[in-house]
Amino acid sequence: MRRLGRRTAVAALCVAVALPVLGGPAAADVRVFRDRSGDTGVGSDVTRVRVDHGGGSGRVRVATRVGDLSTDDVITFFIDVRRRDRGPEYVVRVQPNSAGPVLRAIERWRGRGAVVRCPRLRARADAFGPDRVAISVPRGCIRRPGRVRVAVRARFGYPNRVVVDWAPRKHRLFGPVPR
């Protein structure tokens, strides 16, 4: 009986020592960023941006809450993968209830950019559904970055005017999200 007690104690000690060294399962870093609510003066307003950097899925997922959404609106996601290169390297524009999204390589914040072939790129934006717009980009399409930074620009079309809301603000990126 004593021998069994010692074996159990030794096994428990081995597990206690091994767990901190081995760690738990690898998980993607997920960050949620807040944007000032009510700064547009209308029902359409970017208030929250969630970035999920891959993990086991091999994807970068970005989702944002935008409030009221119509088929005339355009949500633009800017993705920065190289810290030394000022500004984002990629952009995805999403229009609710329209054809599939296109990934483009851009220089800083300028231009339409060159189309990047990315067959598994996904986007979700439903003017008649939830107030969320999301993209899912395979990491292989954006050079498998160790970390990403994002910004969101929402262009809301109203009958008398166009409202533009940047998150966090014009030509600025949220903090880095490591893999």
Q: Tell me which of 6-10, 85-89, 157-161 is least confident.
A: 6-10
Lowest mean pLDDT among 23-37, 91-105, 142-156: 23-37
Print the domain residue range for 139.
30-178
| CATH label of the domain that carries residue 161 | 2.60.40
pLDDT in tens, 81-122: 998 888 999 999 999 999 889 999 999 898 889 999 999 999
Nearest to 57 by CA among 22, 97, 30: 30
Question: Could you tell me if residue 162 is inside a domain?
Answer: yes
What is d(CA 179, CA 174) in angstroms, rounded to the nearest whole number? 15
Q: Is residue 117 part of a domain?
A: yes
pLDDT of residue 8: 54
How many alpha carbons lie under 13 Å from residue 39 in its C-beta half-sphere? Answer: 15
Higher pLDDT pick, 126 / 28: 126
Q: What does the pLDDT read at residue 25? A: 44
Q: Is residue 24 part of a domain?
A: no
Is 128 contained in some domain? yes
- 25 falls within a domain: no
Judge whether 5 lies within some domain: no
Percentages (nearest 5) of helix, strand, coil residues in the chain: 15, 45, 40
| Number of structural domains the chain divides into | 1
Look at residue 7 in the predicted model and tell me its pLDDT.
54
pTM, whole model, 2 decimals? 0.83
Looking at the domain assignment, is residue 2 inside a domain?
no
Count CB atoms within 10 A of the CB of residue 112: 10
22 domain-assigned? no
Confidence (pLDDT) at 19: 44
Q: Are strands 44-53 and 122-125 parallel, antiparallel or unpaired?
A: unpaired
User: Does the pLDDT of residue 150 top 90, yes or no?
Assistant: yes
CA atoms within 13 A of residue 75's CA, in its CB half-sphere: 35
